[in-house]
Amino acid sequence: MRPIVLADAVLVDPASGREGRGAVLLRDGLIADVAFGAAPEPPEGAERVDCAGLVVAPGLVDMRAFVGEPGAEHRETLRSASEAAAAGGVTTLVSMPDTNPVVDDPAIVDFLLRRARDTSLVHIHPAAAITKGLAGREMTELGLLREAGAVAFSDGEHPVASASVMRRALTYARDMDALLMPHLALPDLVGQGVMNEGELASRLGLAGIPREAETIMLERDMRLVRLTGARYHAAMISCADSVEIIRRAKEQGLPVTCGVSVNNLALNENDVGDYRTFCRLSPPLRHEDDRQAVIEALASGLIDVIVSDHNPQDVETKRLPFAEAANGAVGLETLLSASLRLVHDERIGLPALLAALSASPARILGLPAGRLAPGAPADLIVLDIDEPYVLDKRDLRSRSKNSPFDEARLAGRARRTIVGGRIVFDREAAPAARAA
């Protein structure tokens, strides 16, 4: 593997906040040197990539992506998810456990790791289930799953409704310094709801999901964290009340972090429009006031992470009446572009945004990614933050095409993606895939 020099770039290190013109030398899968200012002479035999003033930054770390393998390969495979991730500038992703079979056994964790090594272009780390079969009744063998390679624990889209089960899981997780990142949706309050509860849902004749379905469970979990002292990551918050709950928990010194879906940052309930099923999501798209609250929380650093919440669904589960369609949207390829709307609107600076997309999730997961520094993994993106385009779902590399940003005007995307010192995606050399 030849050394690579990324020259004449704007370097952004989200871990330190440093930004400036310079060059990066990659050797043997690692960042060998970072030179701000004048670039040193490249070593003999190195491949020089002229970035022409584009941004070079650590690749994105996505903490929440559903990958259909095993059991739902028609929706997504490890290979197709990795191709979508590479095209979107994601170099590391955490796969959710709600597969078939469920990732609740060490053998399945081992299978996923081996399969990813054989087929994936990017790093894929499995999250294992908190409860057996995602049923919410009996805790999994957290210790054995962690030893097998699970980086965190979640029940995917299935909330842990039982407070006693969650307390027990947090207690065990504390003793092994494991991370729990549950989905927040109290089933009794979600009921038959399909979108945000409010005037718009009433006018559309759709059953609503109140914010309290999220906040009651989040408030419960904060009290259990205070009781147990375990590390806790709220996978996705979506409303102003949840922001205040997280604020209080952090002020009390609890070991709590949280994430937000890029969908809840970029869209609101009005995007449901004429019953657009690509916008049926969990958590649902909220009122504009809630969207503004989570943007402000992200800009202030209260929200730690942005996730894609990549959840591919095929036409058989989306081409249905809104109330009957499945939750979920693909997001690996649009995570970066949709997030950059906040930079273009001057709501957040580029280093802070990239920190929420790379450095912060890597820190929370205990991974060495997210740093532009010597010795860090050579997982990088070359990014044009201003390149305009209109998204055509047929160009998506995911096996499913259910993007809420279909036909949206976006600006900014990865030109090249490098994983382990190898260029795994080059936009100029790899034309977009098109499918009917």
Catalytic residues: 309
Q: Are 359 and 377 in contact (CB under 8 A)?
A: no
Tokens, residue 152: 């965190």
The span from the CA of 436 to the CA of 410, in Å, is: 22
Q: Counting runs of H as helices and runs of E as strands, what totals does the chain give?
A: 14, 17
Residues 6+ apart with CB under 8 A from 12: 18, 19, 55, 56, 57, 350, 351, 354, 372
Residue 107, classified by CB atoms within 10 Å of its CB into exposed (0-12), middle (13-18) or buried (19+), is exposed
The span from the CA of 353 to the CA of 234, in Å, is: 19
Helix (H) or strand (E) holding 203: helix 199-204
Angle at 96 between CA 267 and CA 290, to 5 degrees: 25
The span from the CA of 219 to the CA of 181, in Å, is: 14
Per DSSP, the residues of 135-195 read -SSSB--HHHHHHHT--EE--TTS----HHHHHHHHHHHHHTT--B------HHHHTT--E
Which residue shows structure tokens 């390829």? Answer: 333
